[in-house]
Amino acid sequence: MSKKNRKYGHRRFYEILEEEAELHAAKNRDYTRGGDPLGNAKRVAAILSLYPGLDPSKPEIVFMIYALKQLDAFLWMSAGDYEGSVEGRGERLADISVYGKLIRIICEEQDAGK
Predicted confidence (pLDDT) per residue in 55-103, tens digit: 999 999 999 999 999 999 999 999 999 898 899 999 999 999 999 999 9
pTM higher than 0.85, yes or no?
no
Question: Which residues fall within 8 angstroms of residue 32, CB to CB, at 6 or more apart?
Answer: 39, 40, 76
- Residue ranges making up the domain that contains 15: 3-112
Number of structural domains found in the chain: 1
Q: Determine the Cα–Cα distance for residues 22 and 57; give it in Å rounded to an integer.
A: 31
**pLDDT of 30 over the 90 cut:** no
Contact of 33 with 80, CB cutoff 8 Å: yes
Over range 11-35, report the average pLDDT: 90
